[in-house]
Amino acid sequence: MRPASPLPEYLDHYHRRRSRAQRAYIARQKSRTTSLTDEVEVLSYELARLEGRRDVLSEMLSQSIAMNETRSERLMREYVHMFAHGFHLHDAAMAGKQERFLRAIMDPAMVFQGFYSLDTFIRIFQRHSSTISSFVMRFVSCDVVLADGDKPLACTLRLAVQQRMTRASLALYFPHILHDEVLVQELIGHTMEIPQTMDLAAALAKVLRSLERATFVLDSGRLPDAPPEHPL
């Protein structure tokens, strides 16, 4: 009589071990998933807490800035906001509101580009706005110097002006270059960003990649010229 084969017993033992290993693996995976879920919940709570704290601090900062902002600063921000795209000459009501705003905050004898008159400043601004359709003025900063008693002594507004060059704007400000069509075509369509110092030479040199050619464009330019006394 042959002895019983050990194979069935071995297979049964193998299957039991494999089953235990699978159950242990599943248990570990379940435990790991539970642990990760708990960790995600903790992190989500912490993130929500930090976002709430950020919002509170941001609101406190905004209130602090608003409380410490001087009347002059608020006035300059309102000026830049109102004239961000120049005079709204196509809207008579808005243009009238803009002019009244300027006359309310500026001295009639103000000096602008060598001319002594608020009226002249307004005419130049209106003429510029009617010629430069892509005019954009952006607030940069405002520095206020206070005298004794917290009264404003000086207010320096820094802003950047962006404008797209067209044939009409070149004809108005740089008519002496119109005979050079190559140069004209090189300028048309480009946008200059001019700082509050009116550093046109640097802006043009950046476009033309030549300080000499930029100087030629500016030579005999008419930027400071006051427009005629009659209204637009």
Number of folded domains in the chain? 1
C-alpha 27: how far from its chain's center? Answer: 55
Higher pLDDT pick, 4 / 187: 187
164 strand-pairing partners: 191
Q: Is residue 30 part of a domain?
A: no
Higher pLDDT pick, 147 / 103: 103
Q: Is residue 5 part of a domain?
A: no
Q: How confident is the model at residue 226 (pLDDT cuts 50, 70, 90)?
A: very low
Q: Is residue 155 part of a domain?
A: yes
136 strand-pairing partners: 162
Closest-CA residue to 143 (of 156, 159, 158): 156
Q: Is residue 82 part of a domain?
A: yes
Q: Is residue 13 part of a domain?
A: no
161 strand-pairing partners: 137, 194
Where residue 104 sits, what CATH number does that domain have?
3.10.450
pLDDT at residue number 107: 75
Task: Give the Cα separation of 229 and 169 in Å (integer).
Answer: 20
Q: Which residues contact 113 (CB under 8 A, 6 or more apart)?
A: 124, 223, 224, 226
**Helices 200-208 and 211-218 sit at what angle, rounded to 10 degrees?**
130
Per the structure, the complete domain to which residue 184 belongs is given by 54-214
How do residues 18-54 score in pLDDT, each as one tens digit?
778 888 888 888 888 888 888 888 887 778 777 766 7
Q: Is residue 227 part of a domain?
A: no
pLDDT at residue number 230: 37
Q: Which residues contact 197 (CB under 8 A, 6 or more apart)?
A: none
Tokens standing for 86? 């120049």
How do residues 175-194 score in pLDDT, each as one tens digit?
898 999 999 898 888 887 77
Secondary structure of residue 111 in the 3-state scheme: strand
How do residues 119-149 score in pLDDT, each as one tens digit?
888 888 888 888 776 778 888 887 776 656 5
Q: Is residue 226 part of a domain?
A: no
Q: Is residue 137 part of a domain?
A: yes
Stretch 202-208: mean pLDDT, rounded? 64
157 strand-pairing partners: 142
Task: Give the Cα separation of 232 and 227 in Å (integer).
Answer: 9
Closest-CA residue to 132 (of 161, 99, 166): 166
Element (H, E) at 156: strand 152-164
